[in-house]
Structure 1
Amino acid sequence: MKSRSPLVNRIAIVVCAVVLTSIVSMTTTLTVSKSIEGNATAINLAGALRMGAFRLLSHVASPEGSKAGESSIQDLASQYELSLEDDKLTRAIPATEDHQLAKQYQSISMYWKQSLRPRLESHPQGAPISAEMLAVTENYVESVNQMVSMLERRTEARIGLLHLIQIISLAFSILIIIALFVDLRNRVLKPLRKLVSIAIAVGEQDFSRKANLQGSDELAQLGSAFDQMSSELALTYYDLEERARSKTEELEKSHAALQLLHTASRNLFSNHDLCSGAVPMLQELEQLLGIGPILLYLHDKESTEPVQAVTTASAERPFYCRDHHCNACLVTSEVYDERPIEEHDGRRLLLPIRTPSGLLGTLEVWYPADKGLSDTARRLLETLSDQLATAIFLERQITEQQQLTLAEERTVIARELHDSLAQSLSYLKMQVARMRRLNIEGDQKIPHDAILEELSTGLNSAYRQLRELLATFRLKLDTPDLATALRKTIEEFSERLGKSVGLKYNLPPQALSPNEEIHTLQIVREGLANAVKHADATEIFVEILFESPQVKAKIRDNGRGLPQDGQPVNHYGLIIMQDRARTLGGQVAVQNHEKGGVEVILTFVPKSRHLIPTETSST
């Protein structure tokens, strides 16, 4: 059965009328434009015939026309006749012989062949043009002018016809469009406005408005569908509202859990105690999600079984508990028995606590079997396991780093004691053994006073080295880097000198290892001590420079300088400085400065030079 669609039929009629008008307009326009195709070229060729006639007349009158190499009048006349019979010109001439334009063209052609051409060919070359000859040419040119005018008028008439067809087509199109607009306003726009107002009312939760459209067209059917839809929406709205309310409650619960995880992440990273940082957060998460208890097991490479580290509910204090004043995980036996564990219809979820480097532990989550565990709660617990993995990994890293730092500091202290105080004590031991041997052998060649003087000097040196070591270690433990320790050292020796000691420092941060910092600081202190005690200096200047890839330390004073034969006898400080420089893989140069005083220069390449940025080489 064929269904009727009045609205579609009306639109189809209007579209067909517009299409038909357009086809008629385009067809007639194409026909007219086709008929005048080539007229402009024909007019140009016809106009060129006039100039060509006078050119031929000028050629026969010119005495130079008979020279060698010039075309004869017969050749030029033949070329001209080809232009007269050109297809581009003849196509613009109507095919009917009784047409005025066709008659005019035949008249021009006959006049050329019978009158003008014979006269031009028979005229003596170079002879003056007679009046008769000139009159014949002018008559021919006048005929050509008439043909050109006829071509122009014919072309203009066709163009006028083309304009008239376009105006008529435009008028028909405007009338059709006006009729279409009137029909659309009455039968489409008004019903659509009513339907839109109903849709807006439905969007504002008002289901009481009805369209009540009369008729059998599509919009009337759509209005009936709108009325039925609003009735059904009124019935289902309350059901959807109830679902949205329950979803909102779930989202609020998830939001609260996310806030809890955010707060927990800060507590986990700020509090290094995993138990006190995790248990309150896990208990709040249990209350939000309706789960629990939650247990955390850590994997230890020294143990084959996982070690329980955290629990949120325990009837007795766990064996691993270190704070017996904390009762965060302790609950009564009644509360513990109500938790959903295996004996009380509970299910268990195991989540790995993992980092890219390996498995750190397992998170065990118990939840009621009758309620199950939602996808949202599962994702939150997975996020929690990731946070716990990061916190546990960082805590282990910090512990390992502290152990490495402590071991390195102990190694530095042991090396310092071995390289300084131990050597001095060994020297004193040898001197004591020497004195005993002298007493036993009774050898009085070497006086005891000399040995006692050496013992006194060694004791003083050992005591001074011990004080230097104590001062150095206190500086190192109280200050974060070499620069701060150097500034404190400069302040100390400025007080001893009674005048400010200059300092220039441009080492990059973390350029030296702790061992290299200790040796560099000791060498600088030794150089400053020598300048203050032995050089009688009034000005001292210290430079610590980085000249890639070397580190250079200079201590320069304006004192009395070194003696002519080099360093003083039994001056153990310079020997110790050279030993320290060799330990650093560098060297120490002690020399008189050209402007007076002594200059101590330490140069070495740091073992951590690959960490030093090369652009930090400006002095």
Structure 2
Amino acid sequence: MIKRGSLTSTILRLMLVLIFISSSLAVYSIINLSFSIGDARAINASGSLRMQSYRLKLYLERDEQLLQEKINQFETTLHSEALERSLTWYSPDALSQQYLLVVDKWEQMRFFIENQQRQEYSDSLKDFVDTIDILVLEMERFAALKLRILVIGQIIGLFLMLIVAIAATRYTRKRMVQPILQLMDVANSISKGKFKVDVPQTEYMELHALGEAFKKTASELDTLYQDLEGQVNEKTIALTRANNELSFLYDNLIRLHADSLDYKALSSALTQIQQFEDLDYVRLVIEHDDGTIDSIEADNGWLDSAGLNSEQHAAVTPVKFNLQLEDKNLGYLEVISLRPVNNMLFVNFAMMLTRSIVIHNATEERQQLALMEERAVIARELHDSLGQLLSYLKIQVSLLRKKIEPNCMTEDVQTQLVDINDGVSTAYGQLRELLSTFRLTIKDPNLGQAIEVMLAQLRKQTGIIIELNYQLSPHLLAAKQHIHVLQLTREATINAIKHAKPSRIEIDCFLANSDMIHINIKDDGIGVSHLKERDQHFGLGIMYERATKLHGTVKFDNNPQGGTTVSLVFPPQQEPLNG
């Protein structure tokens, strides 16, 4: 005897396995990254020891009054929390021993300083700096080792998920698709008058119940066929309809999952079920988390009940089928028909739509998280490379200025030093702006909440009143569009704060009658005439480039009452919904 199980439970278990693997992979990554916090700070601190060693030599020869203060600064850096992490239990022995070696050699160097042994200090300085360099190298190797461990873990986790996905696909094809195809063959045999059929044996209650229904119907038809021609015809019609319903649901399921789930696909599915069941009206109402709703209708639209009397209202009472998965309600399917409604068909159809919408939303979130992770990696790389290099250059320029003899400090030399310092400072400031932009995060597909979080950060930095009027439905924007809209809005708002000198900034996000999305950033500042003069400081090229990626345009206009309006206009990812 075959033990029966639920088809839904089997699918849920497969999903739980994938969720468990992905969750384990995420926890592993978080643990690995937690051990990497502070690596950059430690490398920077160890690097600064080299500079302080040379500075101590300078003060030992020229200014002994500040010598003790510089010794204290050196020891504070040497025994800082960032460097003492080299002695933790998970640090390699080579790193710990190298750090202790630096500490031991510092005691000797300090003895030279305290006893005014300048020549001995100078002679030992290169060896001491080389020891610090080896410490920096060991730290970099340890950081690279942790990164390699993280990459290996990610590869193993993805490989396990791929194995589970392949196994689930084969299992589904063998245990679900083949019995359904066999049931379709059984239905075809019965429709041709062959009542001696064998239904496939399956371990799932749903398919087993359907198979047993086929078998029972065939048996009754075989018994009553000779004397009850009318009953045979009735059963044949019922079987044919059941087969058609199964085929209809299967075909729509394949179609909805084959292409992107948008308004056209859902409207096409509604039109097909309307024609299949000969319905008067049918529509799908999707309820979003922010309280907004979208209404998707079949090709003939929805009944306008404004001109109906009370009797007509009673005759056209719609039947609702909820789109609910576990404890989450996504909306409902609404049907108006003068004939009795096939409840089972619509319950299954509503379940199919629910799962399609949930899978589509999950895909959007994964795409969005992938984009955010990619930008976070770029931000970290820029910070760890260019950020430290620019800081180092600023320090070197300062040291160079101090080492140039007064008689060599001509006006041209002074000008060149100032230009170099200003250039490095400008590059460092631009790098910080770039890192701030890359670190903007969108934790869910709600772009309105992401913009509000970004504006909340800007409100803390300025006294300017910033208001947001967001009226866009979530389905209008894809995950890949969110980051461009968010960053362009941030760039325009920061430009207004820095350069327009406004007292108020208003941001309007809405869908115009032309079916184009409008993002307007309006301020009451000094106007748009200053843009040409400060073009390089506004990052206008980046804003135009982002607008192009959205297949839209961005323009700058003066307001009649004063100030500037930055307008971004671009098409949505799909046609606007009716509702």
| TM-score of the aligned structures, taking structure 1 as reference length | 0.33
Q: For the pair shown, which has the larger CA radius of gyration, 1 or 2?
A: 1
- Higher RCO (CA 8 Å, separation ≥ 6 residues): 2
| TM-score of the aligned structures, taking structure 2 as reference length | 0.35
